[in-house]
């Protein structure tokens, strides 16, 4: 009797498995995962499913199963419902009437989620597409820790650096020494700022890079130690404090003479460029920004910046002084002490962006980026646009330039 019950249970189990397999075959359940970048398009295909003339096709989105599209050939129904939910699919859906495939154009993170295809006819077929959307990654910015020179405990042998990015999510920021990972930090939130410190020696000859990546893309910024890790002013003064007065005088005199000659040439060039004389001999001032020469002496080093003054309501162009951007160059424009990103070019990735909604929308509809040279034009200037504008060109070498802009009234 025990053996009989055991055989009966065994047969029932096998029949249950057979029933599940037949039901699975009858329904036809499939799944697919898709990952893509913001701004791209994706086509959710029905290619692996045979569609009959009397089949009805239905596309649903999300846990609420909002209906996005419907096909019923027999009833001549080919409909797209792009106003739900919240209008996020408006003008973004395209339905292939022949195959039933659904295309989503200019995709954003709002369109991430599960898309369910249901085909009902002779049998019920279901397929789910799990779509992940990632924002385009900015290029990481490497800067020197400004607190190092002001700190009395800062090491004279080491240079403190910070790699940072803003408004990112679902990413990892990492420091590499060659191909070896030194440190990293990850975040899953949206629109957050990340920073990762690094300390190197002034004379370090190794190759360092900061990498920002998500599951489908990455951006890399190479570290130029020579460019960023200049000795602090205090270190330079200590270097020269031990020299005899005679040597200090001998160093200072040629530097002062050279500075005077260069300043004279620059003033003459500016005068010739921005002043004209009319036929009566009266002076006529061209409507151009007033450009001044700013020179800082830091020991034996000279730092040159452009100081520009422009009339309120006029336009000004911050020039990169390059005729053409190289294919692998990345150009970044930043504004203010917070170094808010206002423009970016990466020709290799076909990125030509202006971020005129930051900070506080003061640049809205005022920025124009020259895709050929990378120069930035600011239109209809007001006192809100006063401050420092920093240009960074990274590629075969790292180039940096600062513009100090002031605005005056009529």
Least confident range from 101-110, 226-235, 270-279: namely: 270-279
Residue 172 — left, alpha, or beta (φ > 0 → left; ψ -120 to 50 → alpha)? Answer: beta
Structure confidence by residue, pLDDT tens digits, 361-395: 889 889 999 988 899 999 999 988 998 999 988 87
**C-beta of residue 307 within 8 angstroms of C-beta of residue 301:** no
In angstroms, what CA-CA distances link 383 with 106, 314, 357, 408?
37, 11, 17, 8
Q: What is the pLDDT of residue 277?
A: 36
Taking the CB of residue 258, how many other CB atoms lie within 10 A of it?
11
Radius of gyration of the chain, Cα coordinates, nearest whole angstrom: 32
Q: Do 22-134 and 234-408 agree at the fold level?
A: yes
Listing from the earlier edge strand, what are the strands of the sheet with 192-201? 141-144, 158-168, 192-201
Determine contact, residues 333/344, Cβ cutoff 8 Å: yes
**pLDDT score at 281:** 38
pLDDT at residue 203, as a whole number: 85
Percent residues over pLDDT 70 in the chain: 70
Residues comprising the chain, all counted = 410
Percent of the chain with pLDDT over 90: 35
CATH architecture for residues 141-230: Sandwich (2.60)
CA atoms of 283 and 290, how far apart (whole Å): 16
Q: Which of the four pLDDT bands, split at 50, 70 and 90, describes residue 287?
A: very low
Tens of pLDDT, residues 83-112: 877 889 999 999 998 889 999 999 998 999
Cα gap 31→220, rounded to integer Å: 34
Tell me the C-alpha distance between 221 and 398, whole Å. 10
Average pLDDT score, the chain? 78
Q: Which residues, other chains included, contact 106 with Cβ-Cβ below 8 Å and sequence gap of 6+? A: 39, 41, 92
User: Rounded to 5 degrees, what angle do the CA atoms 229, 390, 327 make?
Assistant: 90
Output the pLDDT for position 80: 93
* Residue ranges of domains in the chain: 22-134, 141-230, 234-408
pLDDT in tens, 9-35: 666 666 656 554 544 444 445 678 999
The confidence score (pLDDT) of residue 271 equals 45
Contact assessment for residue 98 and residue 43, using Cβ atoms and an 8 Å cutoff: no
Residue of 361 and 49 predicted with greater confidence: 361
The CATH H-level superfamily of 22-134 is Immunoglobulins (2.60.40.10)
The pLDDT of residue 30 is 61
Q: Which residues contact 52 (CB under 8 A, 6 or more apart)?
A: 121, 122
Please tell me the pTM assigned to this model. 0.48
CATH of domain 234-408: 2.60.40.10
218 against 19, higher pLDDT: 218
**Listed range (146-160, 214-228, 396-410) with the worst mean pLDDT:** 146-160
Cβ proximity of 173 and 185 under 8 Å: yes
Number of C-beta neighbours around residue 183 at 10 A: 13
């Amino acid at each position: 009797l025990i053996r009989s019950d055991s055989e009966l249970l065994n047969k029932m189990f096998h029949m249950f498995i057979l029933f599940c397999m037949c039901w699975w075959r009858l329904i036809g359940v499939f799944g697919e995962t898709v990952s893509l970048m913001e701004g791209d398009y994706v086509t959710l295909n029905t290619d692996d499913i045979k569609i009959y003339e009397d089949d009805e096709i239905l596309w649903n989105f999300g846990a609420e199963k909002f209906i996005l599209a419907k096909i019923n050939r027999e009833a001549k129904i080919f409909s797209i419902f792009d106003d739900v939910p919240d209008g996020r699919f408006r003008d973004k859906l395209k339905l292939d009437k022949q195959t039933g495939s659904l295309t989503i154009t200019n995709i954003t993170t709002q369109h991430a989620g599960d898309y369910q295809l249901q085909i009902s006819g002779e049998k019920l077929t279901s397929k789910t597409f799990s779509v992940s959307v990632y924002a385009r990654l900015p290029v990481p910015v490497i800067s020197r820790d400004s607190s190092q020179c002001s700190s009395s405990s800062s090491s004279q042998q080491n240079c403190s650096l910070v790699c940072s990015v803003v408004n990112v999510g679902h990413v990892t920021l990492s420091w590499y020494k060659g191909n070896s990972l030194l440190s990293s930090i990850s975040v899953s939130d949206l629109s957050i700022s990340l920073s990762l410190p690094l300390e190197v020696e002034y004379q370090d000859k190794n190759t360092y890079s900061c990498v920002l990546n998500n599951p489908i893309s990455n951006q890399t910024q190479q570290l130029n130690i020579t460019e960023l890790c200049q000795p602090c002013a205090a270190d330079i003064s200590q270097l020269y404090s031990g020299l005899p007065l005679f040597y200090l005088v001998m160093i200072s005199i040629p530097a002062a003479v050279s500075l005077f000659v260069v300043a004279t040439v620059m003033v003459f060039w500016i005068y010739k460029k921005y002043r004209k004389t009319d036929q009566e001999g009266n002076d006529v001032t061209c409507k151009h920004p007033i450009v001044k020469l700013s020179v800082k002496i830091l020991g034996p080093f000279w730092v040159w910046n452009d100081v520009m003054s422009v009339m309120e309501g006029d336009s000004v162009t911050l020039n990169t002084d390059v005729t053409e951007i190289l294919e692998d160059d990345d150009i970044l424009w930043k504004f203010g002490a917070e170094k808010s990103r206002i423009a970016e070019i990466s020709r290799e990735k076909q990125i030509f962006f202006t971020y005129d909604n930051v900070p506080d929308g003061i640049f809205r509809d005022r920025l124009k980026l020259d895709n050929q040279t990378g120069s930035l034009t600011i239109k209809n200037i007001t006192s809100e646009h006063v401050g420092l504008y920093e240009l960074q060109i990274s590629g075969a070498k790292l180039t940096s330039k600062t513009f100090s802009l002031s605005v005056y009234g009529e």
